[in-house]
A and B are shown apart, each in its own frame.
Chain A
Amino acid sequence: DAGVIQSPRHEVTEMGQEVTLRCKPISGHDYLFWYRQTMMRGLELLIYFNNNVPIDDSGMPEDRFSAKMPNASFSTLKIQPSEPRDSAVYFCASSVDRGTEAFFGQGTRLTVV
């Protein structure tokens, strides 16, 4: 398996634009997590899915953020409209169970100018 695949690796966008981040989890993993990492706040869990169903989105900062998982092999994290404070590295991770070892994708470095 190629591991967790995220795209794009880097994204630079202007404030107010819509941004969509994509993730393909490891096949057979039932859990998918979206994290955000910044120098100030470290690694924060935004939302996680179990079998394509969102379970806990309490970490999503505000209504500008939304996430979907239409099938077992694909998830998106959307920010609309984007703001400079959204600049961070966004990681997607998947695991067999919600408390077991999580495998991370390479991340998407988002810069909002």
Chain B
Amino acid sequence: GQNIDQPTEMTATEGAIVQINCTYQTSGFNGLFWYQQHAGEAPTFLSYNVLDGLEEKGRFSSFLSRSKGYSYLLLKELQMKDSASYLCAVRDRGGNAGNMLTFGGGTRLMVKP
């Protein structure tokens, strides 16, 4: 099985930088995804990490350390529209459900003016 932990809520100011952490425990790690979900909408894909290091995509970056079972999503130059839930999802290669995604509970980010 998998255990994925994220903070429940975070608050940040428009224009600032925020880091959302995710820790996980899995027997057969095979990739980590970040999804964004606005209230009442579907999750949408943000980033994917399978190797250690930082993946940058515009204002959003995602970091992975496999040895520490740790990832973070970094959002720069925050905008009001970034207020959403951010879901960390881990892919596990083992068992009948191998290579399936298991989602964390999500971090609700509130961006204030």
Contacts and interface: CB of A to CB of B under 8 A. Distances in A.
B102 A45 contact: yes
A104 B103 CA distance: 14
A91 B37 CA distance: 12
B39 to A, nearest CB: 11
B44 A104 contact: yes
B8 to A, nearest CB: 11
Interface residues of A, number: 20
A59 to B, nearest CB: 9
A71 interface: no
Interface in A64-95: 91
A7 to B, nearest CB: 14
- Interface of B, helix, strand, loop or mixed by DSSP: strand
A101 B96 CA distance: 19
Contacts of B43: 43, 91, 104
24 contacts: A42-B106, A43-B87, A43-B106, A45-B100, A45-B101, A45-B102, A48-B100, A56-B96, A56-B97, A56-B100, A91-B43, A97-B99, A98-B100, A99-B30, A99-B99, A99-B101, A101-B33, A101-B45, A101-B48, A102-B45, A104-B44, A105-B42, A106-B42, A107-B42
Which 6 interchain pairs have the tightest Cβ spacing? A99-B99, A104-B42, A43-B103, A42-B105, A101-B45, A56-B97
